[in-house]
Structure 1
């Protein structure tokens, strides 16, 4: 059997995520996102700057984890586009303004920050840390720089998003260090030592 294309995997993963979310009550979703935050507490506590994201649709929310990070003194930044054709940067502050692609982002006047821990949305991830995103490459372009600065890259999702099959990787794909879900954190590389 031939492996599925990235586009086919994207459709299947998005449909599966939406179907899973349709089975959850708001209270159950909040409970699962709290479990995710609990698994991330020690990582966020050791970070100086945490890169979060404003969830879209059926993406798991990192909000409870980023609130805990702030509570222990970390700066929290969010992706912000100054120019939609260029890689986004992380800006400190809450994502309150609409940016390109329907994503909320901090104000353009908010300071640019360099995260040492980046929480990343995804459609799917495999055992190598290959992330399947929405296909526009925004994260891959931004993560190249962050990987070079030794930031820890942690994909967030519901457990069903961790695939047993390999996701086809292109040369520009940046593999993630770990995958975190309400069930726990799975490390693919970069031992989980304190920062």
Structure 2
């Protein structure tokens, strides 16, 4: 079910390969995301990320602990929304590994130091928190909320328990990352509750 802000016609996904295996979709969607991001100058990118922040901020109204991510490469940034969430009294958190072989935890604080796998995370002495709203990066997402990530399973391992305890999982991306095709699923995939982009928020039934 889509919100009024969400405009289906604004989403133009990548041209899909004949082989719709998960790995093939991942490669195609990642290449498409990189190509799209490369067309954005700094001003246009800033406008789109401000629009995204407006939609994400509206989701924070009923949350106390909001988790986000430090963007990498061609990912859209949720950092404006995270700053606004903190400004209105929310605890903000980011994923952090204490052991690369174990699921990450969410730590309160800013992503200030390098972690494994190339992303920034809060300092290890930061307190562990349990988010009730989580902004999740992705390569692509479909109408069922199936998320296509980087294939390492880090988010699936971390989010399964939090979803069971009531956390709301919102995928975040550029509008073109929402696919019309159905992404193949594995037993360990954790479906998202919704997808937020500069065009709005779509809630999955």
TM-score in same-fold range (> 0.5)? yes
- Match of 1:113, SS state, is coil
2:154 aligns with 138
- Match of 1:180, SS state, is strand
Contact 1:123-1:133 at 8 Å conserved across structures? yes
Contact 1:45-1:74 at 8 Å conserved across structures? no
Contact 1:117-1:152 at 8 Å conserved across structures? yes
Deviates more, 1:3-12 or 1:97-106: 3-12
2:24 aligns with 8
Tell whether 2:50 aligns with 1:31: no
**In 1, Cα distance between the equivalents of 2:18 and 2:176?**
22
Tell whether 2:84 aligns with 1:72: no
CA-CA distance at 1:22 after TM superposition: 1.1
Which one of the candidate residues 97, 100, 103 is aligned to 1:84? 100
- Match of 1:60, SS state, is coil
Which stretches in structure 1 are left out of the alignment for 5+ residues?
190-195
**In 1, Cα distance between the equivalents of 2:64 and 2:88?**
10
1:117 aligns with 133
Deviations, residues 50-100 of structure 1 (Å, cap 9, x unaligned)? 011011100010001111111111000000001111110000011011011
**In 2, Cα distance between the equivalents of 1:135 and 1:41?**
28
Which one of the candidate residues 168, 172, 179 is aligned to 1:156? 172
Deviations, residues 91-124 of structure 1 (Å, cap 9, x unaligned)? 0011011011011000110000100000000000
1:62 aligns with 78
**In 2, Cα distance between the equivalents of 1:81 and 1:89?**
6
Q: TM-score, normalised by structure 2?
A: 0.90
Deviations, residues 15-56 of structure 1 (Å, cap 9, x unaligned)? 101111111101110110000011112211221000110111
Contact 1:87-1:138 at 8 Å conserved across structures? yes
Tell whether 2:56 aligns with 1:40: yes
- Match of 1:120, SS state, is strand
Tell whether 2:181 aligns with 1:172: no
Which stretches in structure 2 are left out of the alignment for 5+ residues?
1-16
**In 2, Cα distance between the equivalents of 1:111 and 1:166?**
38
**In 1, Cα distance between the equivalents of 2:117 and 2:97?**
10
CA-CA distance at 1:2 after TM superposition: 6.5
